[in-house]
């Protein structure tokens, strides 16, 4: 079993730490935020992720999952295998902001007193490993092996994805480091792609860019369906059954959000431009996604020309179900546009409680959000909304009321049978209403 340190306890770092501990490795999770570390050490997860708290508690009880801050320096925290899993948020120019990564790597390199393997789990653009090696590792007093080991974890499914991944990517030019990584992941049945650092980094970005492309593509087809009166559900099924295309990521709606696709597509476009390449397709994918998230506003203004003094319910704030993560959620763009139009907006999300959007009111039940509302926008396909009693919704909403199903997750017939106007994305010309 390996000695492992994971630096950063966000959505990726925490999953990495608890899962490696669950596999029997001896793990220390490190974060600069003492409040987070105290909470995690007491067995309470700092993120909403199904299954994580059980694994967290098991690891603490077994004694092979510990937590620390770097307040006393990095030296004693460096393990044989040290993961960097800190955030790489989007900078104002679209590039990935690597300041946290650089600061951690610099700290580790200057504190290291014995050789170790430095594993980059943070999503860093192609070329970053080479740049870090030149800037920091070449001056190190001890031998540091660098490995790019990107993650393919979906929030909300991250624990399952860890154990049932389609592939493990190990990017390094150091054979011994590759062997250590293979040993670390020995209990996971998966093909391993062993390659160089830049190719590993590119696999991560190309994967997210391709999945984003699939989403923007199906959204364009859905918009076309609305123009010609075709049904995107049938079209998605019909093309997805072709195994060369595949049925996943063909759900049309108001586009992708989250901490990964918006940031990674922008960063890949940035890095392509910086290297003299115009990635035309990717630029279009981003543009389509930006436009797609405005659809609810466009169609509500069409259905209810004057939103002044009307109440609109926003159902869902997280960028997808089963997470409390609201980063790049379409709601963050939709709500200000509705309030600018004079609507009074009430937001309900079953899990993402802590976020406020200026001008909108947070409510603590779906029924409070719908009470008196002339329209409801489904931003997140939480099961609670899919299972809602829409007959009852009609009795609390201000009729005639419109439901804009931004995730194509409701049964149009049931909504219409309840006497509500149903609008969606590419469903049977649905934006024209019933």
From 59, 107, 253, 316, residue interacting with ligand UGA (rule: CB under 6 A): 253
Q: Determine, following the binding rule CB under 6 A, whether residue 155 of this chain makes contact with ligand UGA.
A: yes
- Residue 172 or 208 having the CB closest to ligand UGA: 208
- CA separation for the pair 96, 89 (Å, rounded): 6
Enumerate residues 183-212 that contact ligand UGA by CB under 6 A. 208, 211
Q: Determine, following the binding rule CB under 6 A, whether residue 332 of this chain makes contact with ligand UGA.
A: no
- CA separation for the pair 252, 221 (Å, rounded): 8
Q: Determine, following the binding rule CB under 6 A, whether residue 320 of this chain makes contact with ligand UGA.
A: yes
Q: Taking a C-beta distance cutoff of 8 angstroms, is the pair 345, 375 a contact?
A: no
Q: Determine, following the binding rule CB under 6 A, whether residue 154 of this chain makes contact with ligand UGA.
A: yes
Helix runs in 72-196, H state only: 99-111, 128-135, 158-163, 175-184
**Distance from the Cα of residue 412 to its chain's centroid:** 28
Residues in Cβ contact with 425 at an 8 Å cutoff, skipping those fewer than 6 apart: 219, 222, 223, 226, 232, 252, 253, 254, 292, 295, 405, 406, 408, 431
Q: Determine, following the binding rule CB under 6 A, whether residue 296 of this chain makes contact with ligand UGA.
A: no
The DSSP output letter for 355 is -
**Distance from the Cα of residue 145 to its chain's centroid:** 29
From 279, 319, 348, 404, residue interacting with ligand UGA (rule: CB under 6 A): 319
Q: Determine, following the binding rule CB under 6 A, whether residue 153 of this chain makes contact with ligand UGA.
A: yes
Q: Determine, following the binding rule CB under 6 A, whether residue 256 of this chain makes contact with ligand UGA.
A: yes
Structure-token pair, residue 338: 């509705």
Q: How many residues bind ligand UGA (CB under 6 A)?
A: 21
Q: Determine, following the binding rule CB under 6 A, whether residue 215 of this chain makes contact with ligand UGA.
A: yes
Residues in Cβ contact with 98 at an 8 Å cutoff, skipping those fewer than 6 apart: 88, 124, 128
Enumerate residues 96-125 that contact ligand UGA by CB under 6 A. 123
Q: Determine, following the binding rule CB under 6 A, whether residue 245 of this chain makes contact with ligand UGA.
A: no
- At closest approach, how far in Å is the CB of 234 from ligand UGA? 16
The residues facing 148 across adjacent strands are 120, 171
- Residue 79 or 285 having the CB closest to ligand UGA: 285
- CA separation for the pair 52, 33 (Å, rounded): 19
Q: Determine, following the binding rule CB under 6 A, whether residue 151 of this chain makes contact with ligand UGA.
A: yes
- At closest approach, how far in Å is the CB of 257 from ligand UGA? 4
From 22, 121, 251, 394, residue interacting with ligand UGA (rule: CB under 6 A): 251
Q: Determine, following the binding rule CB under 6 A, whether residue 262 of this chain makes contact with ligand UGA.
A: no
Is the peptide bond preceding residue 400 cis, with omega within 30 degrees of 0? yes
From 43, 130, 133, 152, residue interacting with ligand UGA (rule: CB under 6 A): 152
Sheet holding 144-148, edge to edge: 65-68, 26-30, 3-7, 81-84, 116-120, 144-148, 168-171, 192-195
Identify the residue whose tokens are 């009430």.
Answer: 346
Which of 29, 225, 260, 409 is catalytic? The answer is: 260
- At closest approach, how far in Å is the CB of 146 from ligand UGA? 20
- Residue 58 or 207 having the CB closest to ligand UGA: 207
The stretch among 27-35, 114-122, 247-255, 352-360 that binds ligand UGA (CB under 6 A) is 247-255
- Residue 137 or 211 having the CB closest to ligand UGA: 211
Q: Determine, following the binding rule CB under 6 A, whether residue 318 of this chain makes contact with ligand UGA.
A: no
From 40, 77, 90, 260, residue interacting with ligand UGA (rule: CB under 6 A): 260
Enumerate residues 16-55 that contact ligand UGA by CB under 6 A. none
From 257, 296, 406, 426, residue interacting with ligand UGA (rule: CB under 6 A): 257
Give, in order, the Cα–Cα distances in Å from 97 to each of 88, 106, 203, 432: 5, 16, 19, 42
225 a catalytic residue: no
Other beta carbons less than 10 A from residue 236's beta carbon:
22
Q: Determine, following the binding rule CB under 6 A, whether residue 269 of this chain makes contact with ligand UGA.
A: no
Question: 167 φ, ψ to 5°?
Answer: -165, 155
> Which candidate, 69, 40, 68, places its Cα nearest to that of 55?
40
Query: Under the rule (CB under 6 A), what is the footprint of ligand UGA?
Result: 123, 151-155, 208, 211, 215, 249-251, 253, 255-258, 260-261, 319-320
Q: So which residues are the catalytic ones?
A: 260
């Amino acid at each position: 079993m390996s000695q492992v340190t994971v630096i950063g306890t966000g959505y990726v770092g925490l999953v990495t730490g608890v899962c490696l501990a669950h596999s029997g490795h001896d793990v220390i999770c490190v974060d600069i935020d003492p409040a987070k570390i105290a909470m995690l050490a007491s067995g309470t997860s700092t993120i909403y992720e199904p299954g994580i708290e059980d694994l967290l508690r098991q690891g603490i009880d077994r004694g092979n999952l510990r937590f620390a801050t770097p307040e006393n320096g990095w030296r004693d925290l460096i393990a044989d295998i040290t993961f960097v899993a800190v955030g790489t948020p989007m900078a104002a120019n679209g590039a990935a902001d690597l300041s946290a990564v650089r600061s951690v790597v610099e700290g580790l390199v200057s504190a290291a007193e014995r050789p170790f393997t430095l594993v980059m789990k943070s999503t860093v653009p192609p070329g970053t490993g080479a740049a870090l090696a030149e800037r920091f590792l070449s001056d190190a007093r001890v031998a540091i092996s660098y490995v790019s080991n990107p993650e393919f974890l979906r929030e909300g499914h991250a624990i399952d994805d860890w154990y049932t991944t389609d592939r493990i990517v190990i990017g390094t030019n150091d054979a011994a480091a590759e062997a250590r990584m293979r040993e670390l992941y020995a209990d996971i049945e998966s093909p391993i792609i062993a390659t160089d650092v830049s190719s590993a980094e590119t696999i991560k970005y190309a994967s997210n860019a391709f999945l984003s492309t699939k989403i923007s593509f199906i959204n364009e087809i859905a918009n076309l369906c609305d123009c010609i009166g075709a049904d995107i559900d049938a079209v998605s099924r019909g093309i997805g059954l072709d195994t060369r295309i595949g049925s996943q990521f063909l759900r049309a709606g108001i586009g992708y959000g989250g901490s990964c696709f918006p940031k990674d597509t922008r960063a890949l476009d940035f890095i392509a431009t910086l290297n003299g390449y115009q990635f035309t397709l990717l630029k279009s994918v981003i543009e389509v996604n930006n436009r797609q998230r405005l659809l609810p506003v466009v169609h509500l203004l069409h259905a209810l020309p004057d939103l002044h003094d009307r109440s609109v319910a926003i159902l869902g704030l997280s960028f997808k179900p089963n997470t409390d993560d609201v980063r790049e959620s379409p709601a963050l763009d939709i709500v200000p546009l509705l309030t600018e139009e004079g609507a009074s907006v009430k937001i309900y999300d079953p899990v993402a409680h802590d976020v406020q959007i200026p001008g909108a009111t947070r409510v603590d039940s779906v029924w409070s959000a719908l009470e008196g509302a002339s329209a409801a926008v489904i931003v997140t396909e939480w099961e609670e909304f899919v299972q809602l009693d829409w007959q009852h919704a009609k009795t609390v909403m201000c009729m005639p009321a419109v439901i804009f199903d931004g995730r194509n997750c409701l049964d149009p017939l049931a909504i219409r049978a309840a006497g509500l106007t149903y609008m969606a994305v590419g469903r049977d010309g649905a934006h024209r209403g019933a």
